[in-house]
């Protein structure tokens, strides 16, 4: 089984209350693929970078066994560059600058082998490009999609079109509210589901995630970390872990999605421990399983008795 990830491969320049990191490796496809590869040996990346993209970053994907045949290098262009600043409340961030650069006229053609991919992760990217990629996949079993306020505001109609093709949308709470034009998250999820995705996952940063699927809601906690250095990429890492687990499970029902959310949350909790994707590069199955099990403990609610006998 294979996972196709498409999204940005970026330079991120990040400011947090704990420090700055200029031009570190970032981008939705980077975090997605680096997380998913722990679960699946066949992770394929689709993206574009400029001639300024350093060999050392390329090597980092290679060392992680990510298939880069779908990474276009446009020598005469510059790599996508995002600048963001986090507040003391790390759930709050301002985008200071987005330079699309080589992304402006990115129209990927998938390598022939990629067309057979089974799970497709449409990472945060122009929704028209997300569609263009999806149309080239022969028979995807499950399509996950992420987006962000930038695309909700700049290309709303195109995003709506993409959503009609998606099985599971993964967004954060403010994006869900903006997309649905509804402040209440339960109602927002229902409005978004009417746009196409059967399943909606709403991430709430350090407050966990909500899964809306079938007629049920599942609430996953977030791991209470003492040291968070940089939340960038947490959302994409979450989606990568979720997709990775789903490939392993080879099923997309409510139980698999619930477990997948826990694995996604575990991966995201590692990603935020360090600036850039560095922490994601040094994990192994035991560490991931140990963290995922800690989530079970976190949410273990004892049996509830009637008040009289408590
Ligand atoms: P996350 O923190 O998971 O929401 O994603 C952060 C990543 O998204 C960063 O590594 C950025 O490079 C990337 N990013 C920022 N803005 C955009 C955008 N408009 N489209 C696609 N990716 C973006």
Q: Which strands make up the sheet holding 209-213, listed edge to edge?
A: 67-74, 43-50, 3-6, 119-122, 142-146, 168-172, 199-203, 209-213, 216-220
Of the candidates 253, 199, 205, 196, the residue with the CA atom closest to the CA atom of residue 225: 205
- The SS3 of residue 66 is coil
* CA 174 / ligand 1 centre spacing (Å): 15
- For residue 308, what pLDDT is reported? 65
How far is the C-alpha of 27 from the C-alpha of 5, rounded, in Å? 12
In a domain, 305, yes or no: no
Q: Which two tokens stand for residue 30?
A: 């980077």
Residues within a 6 A CB radius of ligand 1: 8, 10, 12, 26-28, 82, 98, 124-125, 148, 150, 232-236
Q: Which two tokens stand for residue 297?
A: 């403990």
What is the 8-class DSSP label of residue 112?
Answer: G
> Which of 9, 222, 231, 232 most suits a substitution to test ligand 1, by most atoms within 8 Å of the C-beta?
232
In a domain, 96, yes or no: yes
In a domain, 309, yes or no: no
- Distance between alpha carbon 186 and the CA centroid of its chain, in Å? 21
Q: CA neighbours within 13 Å on the CB side: how many for 47?
A: 34
Domain count, the chain: 1
How far is the C-alpha of 89 from the C-alpha of 102, rounded, in Å? 32
In a domain, 288, yes or no: yes
Cβ neighbours, 10 Å, residue 58: 16
Q: What pTM did the predictor assign?
A: 0.95
In a domain, 209, yes or no: yes
* CA 300 / ligand 1 centre spacing (Å): 33
How far is the C-alpha of 44 from the C-alpha of 137, rounded, in Å? 12
Between vectors from CA 167 to CA 165 and to CA 170, what angle results, nearest 5°?
Answer: 105
* CA 297 / ligand 1 centre spacing (Å): 31
* CA 27 / ligand 1 centre spacing (Å): 5
In a domain, 273, yes or no: yes
Q: Encode the chain (310 residues) as per-residue pLDDT tens digits.
A: 899 999 999 999 999 998 999 999 999 999 999 999 999 999 999 999 999 999 999 999 999 999 999 999 999 999 999 999 999 888 889 999 999 999 998 999 999 999 999 999 999 999 999 999 999 999 999 999 999 988 999 999 999 999 999 999 999 999 999 999 999 999 999 999 999 999 999 999 888 999 999 999 999 998 888 888 899 999 999 999 999 999 999 999 999 999 999 999 999 999 999 999 999 999 999 999 999 999 989 888 898 888 865 5
CATH of the domain at 252: 3.40.1190.20
Ligand 1 atom closest to the CA of 26, numbered from 1 = 10
Burial label for 98, CB within 10 Å (0-12, 13-18, 19+), is: middle
In a domain, 175, yes or no: yes
- For residue 88, what pLDDT is reported? 86
How far is the C-alpha of 72 from the C-alpha of 75, rounded, in Å? 9
Rg over alpha carbons for the chain, rounded to the nearest Å, is 19
In a domain, 182, yes or no: yes
* CA 11 / ligand 1 centre spacing (Å): 10
Boundaries of domain holding 187: 3-299
């Amino acid at each position: 089984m294979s996972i196709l990830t498409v999204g940005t491969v970026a330079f991120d320049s990040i400011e947090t209350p704990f420090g700055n990191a200029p031009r570190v490796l970032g981008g939705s496809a980077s975090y997605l693929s680096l997380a998913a590869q722990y679960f699946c040996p066949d992770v394929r990346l689709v993206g574009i970078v400029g001639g300024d993209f350093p060999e050392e970053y390329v090597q980092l994907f290679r060392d992680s066994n990510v298939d880069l045949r779908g990474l276009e290098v446009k020598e005469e262009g510059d790599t996508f560059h995002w600048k963001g600043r986090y507040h003391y409340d790390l759930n709050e961030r301002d985008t200071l600058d987005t330079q699309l650069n080589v992304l402006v006229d990115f129209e990927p053609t998938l390598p022939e082998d990629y067309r057979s991919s089974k799970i497709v992760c449409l990472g945060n990217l122009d929704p028209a490009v997300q569609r263009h990629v999806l149309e080239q996949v022969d028979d995807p079993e499950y399509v996950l999609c992420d987006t962000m306020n930038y695309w909700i505001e700049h290309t709303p109609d195109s995003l709506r079109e993409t959503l009609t093709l998606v099985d599971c949308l993964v967004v954060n709470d403010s994006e869900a509210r903006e997309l649905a034009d509804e402040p209440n998250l339960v109602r927002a999820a229902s409005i978004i589901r009417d746009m196409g995705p059967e399943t909606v996952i709403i991430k709430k940063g350090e407050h966990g995630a909500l899964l809306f699927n079938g007629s049920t809601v599942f609430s996953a906690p977030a791991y209470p970390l003492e040291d968070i250095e940089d939340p960038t990429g947490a959302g994409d890492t979450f989606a990568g872990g979720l997709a990775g687990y789903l490939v392993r499970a080879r099923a997309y029902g409510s139980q698999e999605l619930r477990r997948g959310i826990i694995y996604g949350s575990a991966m995201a909790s590692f990603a935020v421990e360090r600036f850039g994707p560095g922490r994601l590069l040094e994990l192994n199955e035991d560490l991931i399983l140990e963290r995922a099990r800690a989530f079970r403990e976190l949410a273990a609610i004892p049996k509830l008795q009637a008040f009289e006998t408590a």
